[in-house]
Structure 1
C-alpha cells in the first residue's frame, strides 16, 4: 500500500528533506525581516512609557514572533513548494522520476505528507502558543504598552438583553450565584424597542431566577412618575453566566475557550456568526498548508527547455496567493453574515482543493 501511494523510501526522504529545509529557511527570513520592521515601528511607543526598557522590547518580540510564524507559515510552504520544484524540474529530476514510472501524485505525495504534518503542528502551535500571546499583545497595545493590571475578574459597563428588555451594570464582580452587580439599570421595553420603564438599583444579587435590586428607583415613561421601594426582582431570564461574558476575542482564545464564549453569548441573544466563522477557521486555516504543494505543483511538470518554467512558477504562485485572497474575503463575508460560518471557513479550502487537483491532472499530461 505504501509503495502504491509513495515513491521509494530514498526519494520520499529526499523530497521531504528538501521541502522542510526550504520551509524553515523561508519562514525564518520572513519572520526576521517582518519582526525587525515591526519592532522599529513600535519601539518608540514602548520606550516612551516610563520604566520600559530593553526587557519590554524583548517581551514584545516574544509575544509577536509566534503570531508572525502562524500567519506566514502557509506562505512559506507555498514559496518552498516553488523553490523545491523549480530546481527539480530545471535539473530534469522530475523527468527522471517520471521515466522511472512515478506518477505526478506519487512525486507530490512526500510533500503532501510533510505539509499534513506541518498543518498538525501549526494547529497545535496556534492553540497552545499563539492564542494566549495574541490576547496579551492586543491588551498591551491597547494600553499603549503600559503595565497591565492583574485580572481581578471585575467587568465594567456590561449590557445584557433580557428578552425585549435590557439590564446594565456599571460593575460586575464575582462568579456564579455569588455574582454582584453595582450601578444597575433595567429597561422595560415594548416589542418595538421603546422604553416603557426605567428601574435603577444601587446593587443587585442573583435571586435565581432574576436579580434582586436594592434601593430601587422606578421611573414610568408614560406618566413621568418616579417612585422608590426597598427592593425588586427583575431580569428573570438573565443568568450569571451571561453577565460573565464580555467581548470575546477569537484570536486570543483557543478552540475550547472560544466555544464556551460562543455558547454563553448565544444564551445572551448576542450575534455570534463572526465568532463561529473564526472558530471553524481555526481548523481550516492550518490545513491551508496541505493545499500549497498541490497549487504550486504546476511548476514541477512540463519541459524546462520549453521556456514555460517561469510562467508555470508564476502561475503556481498566483494560485496560492489567490487562495489567501479568497479565504480572507470569505471570512469577512462570514463575519457580517453574508455567508454561513461553516461555508465561510471551509468553502475556499474545498474550492482550491478541487482547483489544485484539476491543475495537477491537466499538467500531468
Structure 2
C-alpha cells in the first residue's frame, strides 16, 4: 500500500474516533448544563407566581447554546485526551509509528477536525445562539422580573428608556431619549429628543433640546422646546427631568454581545463608536469568536502532545492530573487576557490571539522534546 493511501486511512480512522468522542462529550456537557440551568431557573421561578414548568425548560434550552459555548474549549481538550489515550492503550499509536508516521502527521488531521468544528459552530450555530439568547433575555424579563435593557443602538442613533410615574396622574409612563451621540465621560447627550408615552403607548409630551447632562437624580436639559397635544411649543433654557437611572445601570444596560450574531458584530461596533460609546468589550468578544476555530485546533495539538508525553510512562493518573491542570491553565489565561484587553491594559487583538499563540508554543515544545527522545 502506498504511503499516501496508508496515511489517508489512518488519518480518517483517527479523525472519526475523535469526532465520535467529541460529539459524545459535547452531548454530556450540554446535558449537564441544561440540567443545572433548569434547576437554577426553577429556584428563581419559585419566587414568582404561575411560571409553567414547560416555560422553564424552554428558557433553559434557549440559554443552552450561549452557556455551552463557554465550555467548548474544555470539550475539545477532554475529547482529544480521550481519543489519543484510547489509541495509546490499544497500542495503535505504536502501529502509527511503525508505519513511518511522525507525530505531526497523525496530530494535524485531528487538529484540522477541531478547527472545522469551531468554524461550523461559529458560522452556523453562533447566529442561532444569538437569536436564542435574545429570546431568553426577553422571557427572563417577562417571567422572572429581571431588568429590561435600558439602552438600544441602531442606525438611527442611541435610544434610552426610563420608566416613572406621572407626577400629576400617578400613572406609569415611559420616557424615551433619542440622540445621535453620547459622551460617557461627561454624561452628556447632544441633539436630543425626549418622548413621553403612557403605559398604553399614547403620546403625552415631546421635548426637543440642544443637550442634556445626567446629574445626581435628574437630567438637566438645555434649550428645551416642550410640545404637548393640548398646547403650543414652550421654550425653557433649562429643564430638569427627574430620573432613577444611575450611570452604572446605563453602562451595564448595553446589549450583551452574546445576543448579537458574529456577522452583525462589526456593524454594531461601528454604531457604538459613532455614538461615542467604547466598544472594547464588544471588540474583545468579536476577536475572541474570530480566533475560536484556530484556538480549538491549537487545543487539540496541546492535548495530543500531553498524551504523547505520558504514553511512554503508561501512567493514566499522571495524564489525568495534567489534563485538569491544563484545563485550569487555559481557563485562567483566557479570562485574564480577556480582562486585560477589555480594561485597555493590552491591545484587544493581542489579548484575543495570545491564548492561541501561547498554547501552540507550549504544545510544539512538548512535541519537539518527545520526538527527540
* 1:351 is the counterpart of 2:350: no
d(CA) in 2 for partners of 1:247 and 1:171?
Answer: 20
Q: Is the 8 A contact 1:156 1:170 kept in 2?
A: no
d(CA) in 2 for partners of 1:45 and 1:78?
Answer: 33
- TM normalised by structure 2 equals 0.73
* 1:217 is the counterpart of 2:236: yes
Three-state SS of the structure 2 residue aligned to 1:306 is: coil
d(CA) in 2 for partners of 1:197 and 1:317?
Answer: 57
Q: Is the 8 A contact 2:66 2:258 kept in 1?
A: no
Label 1:141 to 1:7 Cα distance change in 2 as closer, same or farther (>3 A): farther
CA deviations over 1:246-266 (Å, ceiling 9, x no partner): 823311101333222221221
* 1:156 is the counterpart of 2:158: no
Q: Is the 8 A contact 1:88 1:300 kept in 2?
A: no
Q: Is the 8 A contact 2:119 2:293 kept in 1?
A: yes
Match of 2:189 among 166, 185, 197: 166
d(CA) in 2 for partners of 1:351 and 1:59?
Answer: 39
Tell me which residue corresponds to 2:244.
none
Q: Is the 8 A contact 1:12 1:110 kept in 2?
A: yes
* 1:61 is the counterpart of 2:60: yes
Label 1:48 to 1:303 Cα distance change in 2 as closer, same or farther (>3 A): closer
Label 1:355 to 1:302 Cα distance change in 2 as closer, same or farther (>3 A): closer
Tell me which residue corresponds to 2:82.
83
CA deviations over 1:2-43 (Å, ceiling 9, x no partner): 967x96232122111211111111111111122112211111
Match of 2:318 among 292, 311, 318: 311
Cα RMSD (Å): 3.6
Tell me which residue corresponds to 2:202.
none
Three-state SS of the structure 2 residue aligned to 1:287 is: helix
**Cα shift at 1:362:** 1.6
**Cα shift at 1:332:** 1.4
d(CA) in 1 for partners of 2:183 and 2:68?
Answer: 43
**Where do residues 89-108 of structure 1 align in structure 2 (5 Å cutoff)?**
89-108=88-107
d(CA) in 2 for partners of 1:82 and 1:249?
Answer: 33
d(CA) in 2 for partners of 1:216 and 1:353?
Answer: 65
Label 1:97 to 1:58 Cα distance change in 2 as closer, same or farther (>3 A): same
Three-state SS of the structure 1 residue aligned to 2:234 is: strand
d(CA) in 2 for partners of 1:147 and 1:307?
Answer: 52
Label 1:217 to 1:303 Cα distance change in 2 as closer, same or farther (>3 A): closer
Q: Is the 8 A contact 2:309 2:366 kept in 1?
A: no
Label 1:312 to 1:80 Cα distance change in 2 as closer, same or farther (>3 A): same
Select between 300-309 and 11-20 the one with higher mean Cα deviation.
300-309
Tell me which residue corresponds to 1:138.
137
d(CA) in 2 for partners of 1:125 and 1:91?
Answer: 36
Match of 2:331 among 319, 324, 334: 324
Tell me which residue corresponds to 2:223.
199
Label 1:188 to 1:127 Cα distance change in 2 as closer, same or farther (>3 A): closer
Three-state SS of the structure 1 residue aligned to 2:144 is: coil
CA deviations over 1:118-139 (Å, ceiling 9, x no partner): 0111112343211111222234
Three-state SS of the structure 2 residue aligned to 1:24 is: helix
Three-state SS of the structure 1 residue aligned to 2:235 is: strand
Q: Is the 8 A contact 1:302 1:309 kept in 2?
A: no
d(CA) in 2 for partners of 1:286 and 1:303?
Answer: 26
Q: Is the 8 A contact 2:116 2:293 kept in 1?
A: no
**Cα shift at 1:306:** 3.1
